[in-house]
Structure 1
Amino acid sequence: MEKHPLSLRRRLLTTTLLAVLAGYGLLLVVQRAISSQARVQAHEQSVALVRTELLNRRSPLEGAAGLQQLLGQILTPGLLVWVGLEEGKTYKLPSPNESFSLPGSLVKLVSRADAAAESRSIPQEFELGGKVYVTSSQPIQLEGRPAQLRFLEDFSASAQQERRAQLLLIAAAGLATLFTSLLLRPVIRSGLRPLEILSDRLEGVSSESLTRQHIPVERQPAELAPIALAFNDLLDRLSLSFERQRSFVNGVSHELRTPITLIGGYASRLRRGSVGLDGEQQEQIALIEAESRRMAHLVTDLLDLARSDAGKLQLEAKPIDPIACLGNVCDRLQRHAGSRLQLGPFTENEGCFALGDAKRLEQCLANLIENALKYAPASTPISLRLSATPEELLLHVIDQGPGVQAADRQLIFERFKRGSSAGDTAGSGIGLAVVDALMRGMGGAVFVVDAPGGGADFRLQLKRSAAPVPALGRA
């Protein structure tokens, strides 16, 4: 399954929250390091006091036992000091007392402290049995022999206070992150508002008004100003390209109308005077006449599209009789369609009028009928119907062909686009685009739905109108 990328708003929110959490995590690490350093410094001060007491003593020490007895008199609560002889790592350990709580055997604690004190000059911190200790060593001379004065201090109480402070800090970090998340949402939404406005402007761009859709650069933030400039430049180039295209299509269409009209006229004259021609020759003349008529129709469609693009497509908006338009088109195409066209009945909708241009409406109906004749099987009928609502009139062109897929129902009204069911059937892809342009010019619309029993139901939608006022004759 394809994963959709996160929105810019969600990315900013996620990145900011991760940065906040990373900041709190760094704060916890720094606080722990500072607390550990504070314990080490406190231990160094305790060791310095003990050394000062030993140096200021006037009477000589009586061996390890005498030294240990002296240490027992000057030690502070939580500090354990003993003498270690270098030979064989033998120790003169003190007796446990209430001022120093032991997590287990004293031998195990001393062994762990000895392993932690890798350096003789730098105090080391370690944990044992859920408690925190700091240990260090000081070299001394005892009765002319080298020895080690070992220090072990219990900082479990301060470490427990530190843990409680860290838990409070974590809880505060969670609440602060939640508050930051709630606060960032409107802030990020406000900060991204210029992007949303720019996006709306981009979505509203159409080929009909490129020159009037420039983005005001002076109102954009500094980060979006280059994008706005590039977009305006693109609009100018597209407008110039579309204008050249419209001019070309308009010019070529006008140039083609005259020779196509002449070809069609001469073909009609030849057909009417073809008494002495054989069947194959008459068929060829009929083909020339039909193709010239098709080309003339195509040129007319191109001209309508060019006028629509240039905003010069003039359409009347007056009350018209849709039943009369359906009848006129049916009569005109009946010979070409044979007996396939079925008109009406219109009993329920007689006397209904629509607001539009009768000539252009008949052109739209002709395009839809010719489209149905092309795609529906030759043996199936094409029905012309009329339905009405209190506000609108719908003119139906219903066939029994393959229909139009739901995904193609908007696509087929675009220029040079055809539906997936078109297959190998020849077509230019502009007939339905012309219908769409003409209907929009009349304030209406064209769309397609599934016909009952299969096929396509193309519908021309126009606003209803009151009956036209008859012109008064002169007295």
Structure 2
Amino acid sequence: MVKLWPKIDPHSLQVRLIAGVATVSTMALGSVVTWMSWQIQHLLVETHKQNLEVIANRFPRDVEIYSDMVSLETGIQKSIDNLTNNNTLLWVKNSAGQIVAQSQTEMMDSKGKKLTLLTQVVPQPSLQEINGNYWLLSANPLITQKKLYGQLYIAHNITSEQTMFLDLTKSLILSSLLAIGVMLGAIAWYVRKSLQPLHRISEITQSISVEKLKDAHIQLENAPSEIKQLVQTYEQMLFRLSQSWDQQQQLVSNVSHELRTPLTIVSGYLQSLLRRGDNLTPSQREAIEVATSEANRTIQLLQDLLDLERADSGRMHFYLDLVNLNNLLTEVVEMTKKYSDRLCLLELLEATIMLTVDENRLKQVLINLIDNAIKYSEPDTPITLRLLHEKEQIIIQVCDQGMGIPLQQQVRIFERFYRVDEVRSRTTGGSGLGLSIVKTFVEGMGGTVSIYSKLNQGSIFSIIFPYEIK
């Protein structure tokens, strides 16, 4: 399945931009919707409040007019009947809190009873919900003939308008949520598209190796000017790195070439001196042997540096040919017996394995690994050279029963000049380049090298080549 979206990183610039813009946009849109709802509600209520204020101001005058012709109570009732309609109810309570007159409508019987029971009604019209209906209520003092008679209560039913307002508010909220969703999608798409040049730079730089530093160029079309400036600065940095790398490689090559010849001559003179120095004292002979050993070790170090420099510069050539691995491993074991008294066991397959490799390079790889196993294991423990065939792969293993390598250091042992134990490496004469040479040679022949190790139990170095049975 193709992933349409990469894994979300909460700390990425893309997520931060989307979250920031989306938050601000949502807050702005939410504020607009809230303000519009409040304005509509305010307009709706204010319009009806004015009607209630008109009724409250007119009612005392009507009562005084009717009371000139009939009794006060009758005048109050006539005034209430005159101002009552389908949506407006009125009732009057005297100073003792008793209802003396009220609207005579069906609405008063079905809905007005609960209204008349309300005791906390303020003079200013206020909106209240009662049994699913919305009412504007106000209570005003009723003054007739310059005397306070009681309280005039006015109730105006605005349920239809309020229901329409609530429906409108819900529609606004749903529309806002839909708009926010569309906006988030648009913002995510735009931010993702705007950051594509950065992702492209990351992809290109991941593919740049040391050998390609000089030819590395980042081509971006329709990129923002800031990104183009970043690319230009980055290419300048790559160019400087390429120059530094070339200078380093040239220095290593020159130094190695210049030192290897005189050191070879020194080593030859020292060996000649040992062969012909019958009159040397034991201490003198020991000193010359140490000098010879160090000279040879330095020559080998310089040769390793030259090999790595050739591999880095692409000048190392592998002469691949079909090789009988059974015979090659047998030959390596025989060579090991000549320069070491360590027991070296050989485990071969019954079938003859023919593999296309560089015979001399593979011998050097195996000798390096065996030499490494001898140095870092006890003298009374054997070294095992094993040939395996598993799942279309040929595996050559070099096994020891030595000190092992800590797990956190196993990923670095193939780095140049890296040593697991500096003190022990010094005493054993290691330069820190042996395993790096092994990795370079094996990969140059199309294989891979890996390690499995446990502390105080030993290590297994595996050289793996693809192999198809024909």
Q: Same fold (TM over 0.5)?
A: yes
1:95 aligns with 2:98: no
CA offset at residue 57 of structure 1? Answer: 7.4
CA offset at residue 216 of structure 1? Answer: 1.2
1:29 matched to which residue of 2? 34
Tell me, in whole angstroms, the C-alpha distance in 1 between the residues paired with 2:368 and 2:387.
17
CA RMSD of aligned residues (A): 4.4
Tell me, in whole angstroms, the C-alpha distance in 1 between the residues paired with 2:338 and 2:262.
25
2:295 matched to which residue of 1? 292
1:89-140 deviations in Å (ceiling 9; x for gaps): 989874254345347362534x2334xx3xxxxx544556665433468899
Which runs of 5 or more structure 1 residues have no equivalent in the other structure?
A: 118-122, 467-475
Is contact 1:211–1:236 with CA below 8 Å preserved after alignment? yes
Tell me, in whole angstroms, the C-alpha distance in 2 between the residues paired with 1:83 and 1:293.
121
- 1:309-388 aligned at under 5 Å gives the runs 309-323=312-326, 325-326=328-329, 329-330=332-333, 332-342=335-345, 344=346, 346=348, 348-350=350-352, 352-388=353-389
- 1:66-85 aligned at under 5 Å gives the runs 66=75, 69-81=78-90
Is contact 2:91–2:116 with CA below 8 Å preserved after alignment? no
Is contact 1:353–1:464 with CA below 8 Å preserved after alignment? no
2:258 matched to which residue of 1? 255
Tell me, in whole angstroms, the C-alpha distance in 1 between the residues paired with 2:100 and 2:417.
99
Tell me, in whole angstroms, the C-alpha distance in 1 between the residues paired with 2:317 and 2:450.
22
C-alpha change, 1:268 and 1:5, in structure 2 (3 Å) is farther
Amino acid at match of 1:362: K
CA offset at residue 218 of structure 1? Answer: 3.7
1:306-352 deviations in Å (ceiling 9; x for gaps): 2222222233223344455545554555454223334x3547354x4
Tell me, in whole angstroms, the C-alpha distance in 2 between the residues paired with 1:247 and 1:265.
27
1:429 aligns with 2:439: no
Is contact 1:400–1:455 with CA below 8 Å preserved after alignment? yes
CA offset at residue 221 of structure 1? Answer: 4.5
Is contact 1:103–1:128 with CA below 8 Å preserved after alignment? no
C-alpha change, 1:182 and 1:160, in structure 2 (3 Å) is same
1:108 aligns with 2:111: no
Amino acid at match of 1:33: W
1:416 matched to which residue of 2? 417
Tell me, in whole angstroms, the C-alpha distance in 2 between the residues paired with 1:252 and 1:300.
11
Aligned match of 1:133 in 132, 135, 142? Answer: 135
1:46 matched to which residue of 2? 51
C-alpha change, 1:321 and 1:287, in structure 2 (3 Å) is farther
2:243 matched to which residue of 1? 240
Tell me, in whole angstroms, the C-alpha distance in 2 between the residues paired with 1:317 and 1:21.
66
How many residues are aligned here? 449
C-alpha change, 1:297 and 1:156, in structure 2 (3 Å) is same
**What SS does the corresponding residue of 2:86 show, helix, strand or coil?**
coil
Which runs of 5 or more structure 2 residues have no equivalent in the other structure?
A: 1-8
| TM-score (ref. length: structure 1) | 0.75
Is contact 1:316–1:442 with CA below 8 Å preserved after alignment? no
Tell me, in whole angstroms, the C-alpha distance in 1 between the residues paired with 2:209 and 2:98.
93
CA offset at residue 271 of structure 1? Answer: 2.2
C-alpha change, 1:408 and 1:54, in structure 2 (3 Å) is same
Tell me, in whole angstroms, the C-alpha distance in 2 between the residues paired with 1:202 and 1:141.
90
Tell me, in whole angstroms, the C-alpha distance in 2 between the residues paired with 1:328 and 1:281.
37
| TM-score (ref. length: structure 2) | 0.76
1:64-107 deviations in Å (ceiling 9; x for gaps): 7535632431233333456799xx89898742543453473625
